Structure 1
Amino acid sequence: MAATIQAKDRSDLRRSQTRRLRKDGYIPAVVYGKGKEPVTVAVEGVELIKNVRDEGRNAVFSLDIEGKNQLNVMLYDYQSDQIKDELIHADFYQVDMSTEVDVEVDINFEGEAQGVKDGGVKQQTLHTIHVRSTPNNIPDEIKIDISELTIGDSITVGDLTSGNGYEFLDEPDTTVITILPPQSADVPEEGEEGGDEEAEPEVINEKSEDEE
């Protein structure tokens, strides 16, 4: 069952009303939907943050608009005040539970790679992956077991197995993680500075003989 977020109708778009809402702990928000007119609402900032933390960024919420009907929505975007560390605006997207959506899902690794135990270096090049799914089938995260990886091994998107009800959209050859060889600084031995003759340094703005 989708978590519920309470919302107020926000038909009065005057700045004075918006300031009053923020003073009362609410933030202005807009609900968009394919082929639907945008709906302006206000939601409690603290409640929204709590629900997103508990349910996840890609969760489907039941937006209960006071005096109106409930809408199935996902948090599409938000704006925050970095100085005050608080939300100032949110955008919701009204979803059809039977229609697929494209979202980003976090990648998390399980286990410790054998290659890292042997001195290799883990290099993660992809932290999120694009997924297409109906709203109810969006995974909370993509878990990847890396315990069998040795030095030189890598995992690409094509190596991952899509779950029931969702598929990956990134290119199959996109690298997710690689176990690199140990990092070591190559210090030249004495007498091996790089050649028999020492190259002369380039002189910037040196005058030619003709100019002299």
Structure 2
Amino acid sequence: MTAVLQAKERKGARNSHLTALREEGNIPAVLYGSKLESKSIYLSGADFLKTIKEVGRNGVFSLDLDGNKFDVMLGDYQSNPLKNEIVHADFLAVDMKKEITADVRVVLVGDAPGVKDGGVMQQSMHEVSVTATPNNIPSAVEVDVTNLQVNETLTVADIKINRGYEINNEEEQVIASILPPRQEEEINSGEEQEAGTPESEEGRETTADEDKTSEE
């Protein structure tokens, strides 16, 4: 059964009107689509969070706007990190038979042997672009790292096999890699080091870009 989120048309656009809506626990939003005139709406913040938690970030649900129902997905949204709340949302009305493109988070699953051997896992991609019909857009793309050894990498080409959707990123883009153990760790543990320079100086820096997608 498709989740249903109730919404009402929003008349006012002034900041004072938007502030008043938020103080009442509502979220100002916009409903749009290829065959739909953009509509200013608002809805319960609590109901919104409940629905997104139920269907997922890229899930399809029914938006009931004053009795008219639309199949929608959550588009962009804005949040207030200080108050930990959503302050605005965009809803895309979709045709269930037509393919759409969405950004989907990448989740690494499994225990990599290279990490057990002291290597450092570095995730270079936290999102991929996916094209599919709305019901086939995944909530996340899981990438299996159980065979990844030190100095090995996984690219987009490695995960394109047997998917029910199309991944649009370039095949040579690196998703994850395992860097060699850091020299500092070898020194601190009292292990002897081999002479010469490590194969990859990048092993000293393991900071990856932070996931820009807010978690549901």
TM-score (norm 2): 0.78
Does the CA-based 8 Å contact 1:4-1:62 persist in structure 2?
A: yes
Q: Trace 1:27-176 onto structure 2 (pairs within 5 A).
A: 27-66=27-66, 68-176=67-175
Structure 2 counterpart of 1:11: 11
Cα distance in 2, alignment partners of residues 23 and 118 from structure 1: 53
Deviating beyond 6 angstroms after TM superposition, the runs of 4 or more aligned structure 1 residues are: none
Cα distance in 2, alignment partners of residues 53 and 126 from structure 1: 24
- Per the TM alignment, residue 161 of structure 1 is displaced from its structure 2 partner at its CA by 2.9
User: Secondary structure at 1:51's aligned position in 2?
Assistant: helix
Does the CA-based 8 Å contact 1:134-1:165 persist in structure 2?
A: no
Does the CA-based 8 Å contact 1:72-1:96 persist in structure 2?
A: yes
- Per the TM alignment, residue 14 of structure 1 is displaced from its structure 2 partner at its CA by 4.9
1:123-160, CA deviations, whole angstroms, 9 ceiling, x for partnerless residues?
A: 11111111111100011222222111111211100011
Name the amino acid aligned to 2:160: T
- Per the TM alignment, residue 16 of structure 1 is displaced from its structure 2 partner at its CA by 4.9
User: Secondary structure at 1:21's aligned position in 2?
Assistant: helix
Name the amino acid aligned to 1:109: L
User: Secondary structure at 2:183's aligned position in 1?
Assistant: coil
- Per the TM alignment, residue 47 of structure 1 is displaced from its structure 2 partner at its CA by 1.3
1:11-67, CA deviations, whole angstroms, 9 ceiling, x for partnerless residues?
A: 34455543443232212111011142111111111111222123211111200112x
- Per the TM alignment, residue 114 of structure 1 is displaced from its structure 2 partner at its CA by 1.0
Cα distance in 1, alignment partners of residues 102 and 74 from structure 2: 11
Aligned CA distance change for structure 1 residues 178 and 45 (closer, same or farther; 3 Å):
same
User: Secondary structure at 1:116's aligned position in 2?
Assistant: helix
Cα distance in 2, alignment partners of residues 22 and 121 from structure 1: 44
Cα distance in 1, alignment partners of residues 169 and 108 from structure 2: 18
Cα distance in 2, alignment partners of residues 86 and 38 from structure 1: 24
| Structure 2 residues without counterparts, runs of 5 or longer | 188-216
Number of residue pairs matched? 186
Aligned CA distance change for structure 1 residues 162 and 168 (closer, same or farther; 3 Å):
farther
Aligned CA distance change for structure 1 residues 88 and 184 (closer, same or farther; 3 Å):
same
Does the CA-based 8 Å contact 1:157-1:176 persist in structure 2?
A: yes
Cα distance in 2, alignment partners of residues 81 and 116 from structure 1: 36
Percent identity (aligned): 42
User: Secondary structure at 1:62's aligned position in 2?
Assistant: strand
Cα distance in 1, alignment partners of residues 119 and 164 from structure 2: 36
Does the CA-based 8 Å contact 1:162-1:168 persist in structure 2?
A: no
When Rg is computed on C-alpha atoms for both structures, the one with the higher figure is 1
Cα distance in 2, alignment partners of residues 40 and 163 from structure 1: 40
Structure 1 counterpart of 2:205: none
Q: Trace 1:201-212 onto structure 2 (pairs within 5 A).
A: none
